[in-house]
Amino acid sequence: MTVGKMLMHERRNAIMQHLDKNQRIIVKELSQILDVSEATLRSDLNDMEKEGLLKRTHGGAVLLDYDANKYSFSTREKKNKEEKYLISTKAEKLVTQNQCILLDASSTALELAKRLKDSPDRKRITVVTNGIYTALELRDVPEFTVILIGGVIRPGSSALESTIDAGVLDKINVDIMFTSASGFDYENGLTDFNVYEVELKKEMVRASNRVVALLDHTKFGKKSIVSFASTDEIDTLIIDNQISDEEKQRLEQYNINVM
């Protein structure tokens, strides 16, 4: 597939990669690099500015809100610690004896792993994950069988990415997938900024009998570059109490249980 035939989310991810590397882009130059029309790029950049990913300039765009430090795992792990603790404590109550659960590579899922590990009533479970830190956190727990999905690791990442080893999911009956996201909105469902990890997360969603989204209120109503779970694929949303009763009722209209 040529660069010019990229899907929209692949094209926008390429734009962000250029921005992350060079801090600014010029539409005319990027059009030649990506083999995409200038009109298409201008439309992309306008939409991405509305999403808070960049700032439009005359003839191009500059890096605004998307940078390596913002999306690094160490930065995300430190953010909203109290909310993540409370959300993971609620999520732990959904896990029962002899279940197979799937944890993505998010910092919130890592917090859930810590709750499961430290529980006084530790259950015998199987944990499937693409999270390197999550697997390391649980590796010495005798009650847990930990399956790490293989893939590619990028510098600074906490996740094994790509669908290289996704076939293993066909051989496992996953009861619940616990996942976080960069954003959630009704039109796009759960969205994230990393196209390569998102492809694996789509496979995880398909392999799971139930999808539980772990989101603090800052993710609610936001969207990122690409969706990995539609609204009708989400069974339960665990969120802090800073959303309105109207929003809770709307979620229930979509058959999403709210905790």
Domain boundary among the residues 51, 66, 81 is at 66
Give the pLDDT of residue 251: 92
pLDDT in tens, 171-195: 899 999 999 998 999 999 999 877 7
> What is the domain range of residue 26?
3-66
Please give the Cα distance from 154 to 139 (Å, whole number): 22
Top pLDDT among 105 and 66 is at 105
| Together in a domain, 88 and 120 | yes
Give the pLDDT of residue 2: 42
Residue 223 neighbours by CB distance under 10 Å: 21
**Number of domains the chain contains:** 2
Tell me what the pLDDT averaged over the chain comes to.
85
Residue 48, domain CATH: 1.10.10.10
| Secondary structure tally for the chain: helices H, strands E | 10, 13
| Together in a domain, 248 and 170 | yes
- Tell me what the mean pLDDT of segment 84-100 comes to: 95
In this prediction the pTM is 0.73
Please give the Cα distance from 259 to 251 (Å, whole number): 11
- Tell me what the mean pLDDT of segment 243-255 comes to: 89
Domain boundary among the residues 66, 91, 121 is at 66
Top pLDDT among 188 and 76 is at 188
Instruction: Kindly tell me if the per-residue pLDDT of 248 is higher than 80.
Output: yes
Give the pLDDT of residue 79: 55
Q: Where are the alpha helices (DSSP H) in 24-97?
A: 27-34, 38-50, 68-71, 73-78, 81-92
Give the pLDDT of residue 170: 87
Instruction: Kindly tell me if the per-residue pLDDT of 123 is higher than 80.
Output: yes
Instruction: Kindly tell me if the per-residue pLDDT of 60 is higher than 70.
Output: yes
